[in-house]
Structure 1
Amino acid sequence: MVKIMIADDQQLIRESLKIILDSDPNFEVVKVVGSGQEVLDTVETESIDIILMDVRMPSMSGVECTRLVKKKYPNIKVIILTTFDDDEYIYDALKYGASGYLLKGCSLEELSSAIHNVLAGGACFNPNVAGKVTQFFSQMANSNGEFNFGHGEDEHIDLSDTECKIIAQIGHGYSNKEIAQKLGFSEGTIRNYLSVILDKLDLRDRTQLAIWYLSRGNK
């Protein structure tokens, strides 16, 4: 059973999400809250697998809340809930460890797929706004922004054919298990490859790696 917390300051949004998720027998909505502080209080006392986090909440933004949650509880996954005009929040949330983002109003199928994918070690990026995110990080890659996008020009990065294939699979949101099945390796081997790849590119996690891949014009 996947234990979920929903954090959104709009009651209609959070209650609607709860109704949607409660229709899936694999999910248990443990808590529905309306502020970042309530999120922090809940993770102290409840076992949570994943948080659906709004970015705009009173007193503490979802971005700051994501940073604090991931700092203390790195195993809790965070999916950002966003609207089209929340771009500036999305970038920072991903930087602080969110596993992706979804547009509010997504279907149960989209939501369920994203949750399972993130819990399996993947990432979720809504295609309607993915271009904005990759464009932003691509610009930061060529600037002095605080987000570190790797060691520099692609031609200076020594990646094997297998590493390139793994990067492409991660860029498309596949989990370690799915990549292992596709490429004929064990999950442990994929994890080892991923660790080496992140070190070579000077990236922190698979979410940044997916953005790195997409920002270079890959599909």
Structure 2
Amino acid sequence: MIKVLIADDQELIRESLKIVLSANKDIEVVGTVCNGKEVIKLVRKYKPDVILMDVCMPEMNGVQCTKIIKESYPNIKIIALTAFDDDEYIFNILKYGASGYLLKGVSMDELVKAIHTVSNGGAMTNSDITAKVFKLFSQMAQGDISIQVGAKKNLNDVCDTEWNIIKCVGLGLSNKEISKKLRLSEGTVRNYLSNILNKLNFRDRTQLAIWAVKTGVTKKW
């Protein structure tokens, strides 16, 4: 029996998934929650085998929650089930250990198959998400987004607010979430990010996130 925990901020989706998945004799839905903090509470109680994790949730998003869960419970499998196919979400939640990334348009047969696949140690993504992932790894293999940790950066030019934003990017937060956390407008966050990329000589947000994780910036500030 595969124990599944469902995390989604929309009640209709949570309950619909629970009803359909519970119809499978080898799947037990142990609980449904609406945010990442509730996920952590139920994980400690039920120790699910698989978590269906929405990416955008209040209190704590799916990316942050995945990072915390995988650090404490590495054997729990996580499938991102979301309406968003943004590169930053895909990169960050897979980086923190998710075994799958599915869009909410997926059929129930595919979802059940994904649960069985990741439960057995495999990985599962939509075809279009797979294409994005292959593209990302292709770029990394070619050195396109390879980051030299020890490379000289203009670190002295980075202000405290910029360090806070760098930390948030490394933790997988979106601009909207950074805006809320730091009490800045989204436009201000975008301007800061542009300045940060220029100062540290990074091409894009993905490079910055990789560098932040590799250098331990997310732990220092």
Query: How would you bin the TM-score normalised by the shorter chain?
Result: 0.5 to 0.7
Distance in 1 separating the partners of 2:147 and 2:79? 24
SS at 1:6's partner residue? Answer: strand
For the Cα contact (< 8 Å) 2:6–2:52, is it kept in 1? yes
Q: In structure 2, how many angstroms separate the alpha carbons of the residues matched to 1:19 and 1:106?
A: 16
What is the CA–CA distance in structure 2 between the aligned matches of 1:75 and 1:127, rounded to whole Å? 25
Q: Which runs of 5+ in 2 are unaligned?
A: 149-221
Question: Which of the pair has more CA radius of gyration?
Answer: 2
Aligned residues: 147
Inter-CA distance 52–109: structure 2 relative to 1 (3 Å threshold): same
1-structure distance, mates of 2:99, 2:108: 18
Aligned with 2:9: secondary structure?
A: coil
Match of 2:146 among 144, 147, 151: 144
* Contact 1:84 1:129 (8 Å CA) reproduced: no
Gaps of 5+ in 1: 147-219
Give the equivalent residue in structure 1 for 2:55: 55
Whether the aligned pair in 1 keeps the contact of 2:85 and 2:129 (CA below 8 Å) is no
Superposed, 1:103-122 pairs within 5 Å as: 103-122=103-122
Give the drift of 1:20.
1.5
Q: Tell me if the contact between 2:3 and 2:27 (Cα under 8 Å) persists in the aligned partners.
A: yes
Shift, 1:85, TM fit: 3.7
Contact 2:85–2:103 under 8 Å retained in 1: no
Q: Sequence identity of aligned pairs in percent?
A: 57
Task: Give secondary structure in 2 for the equivalent of 1:81.
Answer: strand
RMSD of Structure 2 on Structure 1 (CA): 1.8
Residue 78, structure 1, aligned to residue 78, structure 2 = yes
1:36-185 to structure 2, matched below 5 A, reads: 36-141=36-141, 142=143, 143-145=145-147
Task: Show CA shifts across 1:39-96 (max 9, x none).
Answer: 0111111121110000101121101100000000001000011224433211111111
Task: Report the AA paired with residue 124 of structure 2.
Answer: C
Distance 1:138 1:6 in 2: 32
Matched, 1:33 2:33: yes
Stretch of structure 1 that moved more, 103-112 or 69-78: 103-112
Q: What displacement does 1:10 show?
A: 1.2
CA distance in 2 between counterparts of 1:101 and 1:16 reads 19
CA distance in 2, matches of 1:77, 1:119: 7
Pair 145,104 (structure 1): closer, same or farther in 2 beyond 3 Å: farther
Which amino acid is the alignment partner of residue 146 of structure 2? N
